């Protein structure tokens, strides 16, 4: 990584990584960044991205995917321990047909509630930012090194 980090100046996730767009950060290490989704399916919906820009899983080297999955697992555990949803889905979409809306590889950690009737391609509805901020704090506290 270091000085050779690849970024796309048009990518919203790269803009978040650059600090040009604010985010409710949950966790960051040398290779990955985790933050709250501001259009949540349910409380605690989080996103995990690599610091390098790769448009999809097919173009992402395995040496990038390994730390990405480690962080995804860490965040899923923190959400389970802090919010205690009925279940968690891990989602990673590739391409328009899979409803990929940001072409920077990422994983969704989707807390689920019994009976939430969530569809795979949920509609984007802005969440309450104060509530998202509070949830981010709960999850940050639950993240273990």
- Give yes or no: 106 in active site: yes
Tokens of 137: 């704090």
Cα distance between residue 65 and residue 80, in whole Å: 22
Backbone angles phi, psi at 47, to 5 degrees: -125, 140
Nearest of 114, 109, 69 to residue 91 by alpha carbon? 109
Cα distance between residue 131 and residue 145, in whole Å: 25
Set 54, 104, 106, 108: catalytic member: 106
Residues with a catalytic annotation lie at 106
């Amino acid at each position: 990584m270091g000085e050779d980090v690849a970024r796309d100046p048009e990518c919203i996730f790269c803009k978040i990584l650059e600090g040009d767009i604010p985010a409710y950060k949950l966790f960051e290490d040398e290779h990955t960044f985790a933050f709250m989704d501001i259009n949540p399916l349910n409380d605690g919906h989080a996103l995990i991205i690599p610091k390098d820009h790769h448009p999809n899983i097919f173009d992402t080297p395995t040496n990038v995917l390994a730390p990405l999955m480690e962080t995804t697992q860490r965040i899923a555990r923190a959400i389970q321990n802090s919010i205690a949803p009925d279940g968690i889905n891990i989602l990673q979409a590739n391409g328009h047909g899979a409803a990929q809306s940001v072409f920077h590889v990422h994983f969704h950690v989707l807390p689920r509630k019994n009976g939430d009737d969530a569809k795979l391609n949920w509609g984007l509805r802005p969440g309450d930012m104060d509530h998202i901020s509070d949830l981010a704090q709960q999850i940050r506290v639950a993240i273990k090194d």
